Chains A and B, each alone.
Chain A
Amino acid sequence: MTSAALRSRAWKLLEMVTTPLLPSDYLDLVSPLRAGADLRGRIEAVHPETSDAATIVIRPGRGWRGHTAGQYVRIGVDVDGVRLWRAYSVTSPTNRQDGRVTITVKAIPDGKVSNHLVRRAKPGTLIQLDQATGDFVLPEAKPAKVLYLTAGSGITPVMGMLRDTEFNDVVMVHCAPQPQDVIFRNELHDLVADKKLQLTEVHTATDGMLDIARLDELVPDWAERETWACGPAGLLDAAEEHWSEYGMPERLHVERFRPSIVVAGDGGEVTFSVTGKTVDADGATPLLDVGEEAGVLMPSGCRMGICFGCVTPLKAGVVRDLRTGEITEAEPGVLIQTCVSAAAGPCDIER
């Protein structure tokens, strides 16, 4: 018998010992970061960067496969007891000696996760991790000239790149309201002092928003540069238009942070994605009834919110609990009770 087959036999036996739980349920008690466990990380330190941004140092579990500079990682954090998932750019270089990774988080107004991470997260806390992903990365062949065009927290993936790979000729244009809002400002200025970076800071509180036409003046040879841009949608839209206008859209690489503006309204178009049906629903009819009326096979139970026999994944959109008025937004892994939830906007129910 091969060693792999032997191991799987041994594991089966172990499962018989721990049934109905799994051996991993017990192993998680002592070693949540071991190889083979669900990927997790432990927060080891939280370093403030500005008044509303902080860098989180994470020790990833053994299953972490590393990242490429510029990529992001999804993390699951328990905020007020509820697990919430968000994506953040990795800001550490890929060759960090201690194997830790860092993300840098800017607290956005009413942001549940970002405020928790910046202001309340404690070293020692376990978080859930996904493998790093994203194609906002540097090419294998080094370009001769590079431009980084960033604004606000859009600097984070670019900082991962700056720390990771040195280029001969790098220019950065970064926008932030005031000097003290520039994340990593000291480190950037050190790079400038070492002649490793040419930096232009645009302080939007005094200078106003960056007009993309000013690029000719700020970076006269911008058209010769391979450009990576990350920031608010307005800046990125303008940049894409500008690069297209000059006939070189392929030289511009853009990272857009997920626009998560959900406005809860009353009713909306409901898609049952498995069945492939789409119907209009009002804000008062339970999604269970909406589905059944549309001929979708819906799991059901007590029809009054007590038995949890109707829970179904909410793939996209937003729903309202008809009893409490509470709003639930779609996130990976979110299940809703269809018998007491109504559409609060367009939504996608996995049935």
Chain B
Amino acid sequence: MKTLRNFKVFGFVTLVVLISFIGVSLFTACEKEKPAEVAKKVELEPIKLGVAGAHSGDLASYGLPTVKACELLVNHKNAMNGICGRKIVLLVEDDECKPEKATNTATKLVSQGVDVVVGHICSGATKAALPIYKDAGIVCMSPSATNPPLTQSGDYPNFYRTIASDDAQAKLEVDFALGRLGVKKVAVIHDKGDYGKGLAEFAKGFLEADERAEVVLFEGVTPGAVDYSAVVQKIKNAEADAVIFGGYHPEASKIVMQMRKKRMDIPFISDDGVKDDTFIKVAGEFAEGVYATGPIDTSTNPMAITAIEEHRKVYGEDPGAFFLNAYAAACALLNAVEKTGSTDYDAVSKALQTEFVATPLGILRFDEKGDAIGIGFAMYQVQNGVYVEVE
């Protein structure tokens, strides 16, 4: 293993040396000469862009849009003569979102000499694959793995992502409640589900870490129960100033309605499971004033509009889940390679952390942990029957 690694390092160094020479001449050449002539002059190794994720099985709908996003972007780049003369090839590998398959996928991509990887899709599979890329010195960027420790633990310096982690919403909710609303006693309620309870636990953690506030109640409600009057009574009895709810809109609207009917006008803060128009439709007048976090709106971003239109043109349908996140990941990686003119691990990492890149999700840079700066959630409030972003 060690010799292999040494060999890799040696290979990288030679590549870097080669590219740094040719790269310089190319950059100057790019402007002067026509692309076709450049291609004739130097035949270069293509850049191998790995795409790993679930492409079959029950989670394929999460992985396939990433493949399509990469195809679109790479075709586009290759039509423009690649990255300064180097064509880009895609190495697409399926992991079915299974951790045990993901390690095989990663090993296969490494043995094929992949330069950078977009993926994996699921947090579990990503976690399994990352050590293999780390040993091989390959940067990996996921469009959809939201598990917080992937970046925050510091175990995977080669990992980046173009999606906000699960705790970002909870953090925003808590900051908003304490800073903007100035509440002191918070009741944290959840629906006992993975998503809702996970968020609620993060919110509880952030609240406990902050001396301005205390958690007066932390409880789960049973989804689908006939009514929630006892829980509402308990919130009132705990003298909470605000409720933070983790879960989806049916439970949220029931709780809000029963609170308002009991004339409890304390703020109700929730997550993107509640930032849904159905919530407003069902809760009606009682929805007024409810806060909910949701992804920052990028629908007016010109790159996003172009990418989605192109997807419709090429594949004849609307893009699926995480398409824009994947597009942004591929943009960021290829931009880092283009800016440094190499696929060297350190150079690419540095470029990701220092160079801003235009993506469908906005202009991005990554922090030293690997989370994208500028991607995240915004706070919305129901005002006159619509969600309005709170400044």
Partners in one complex: no
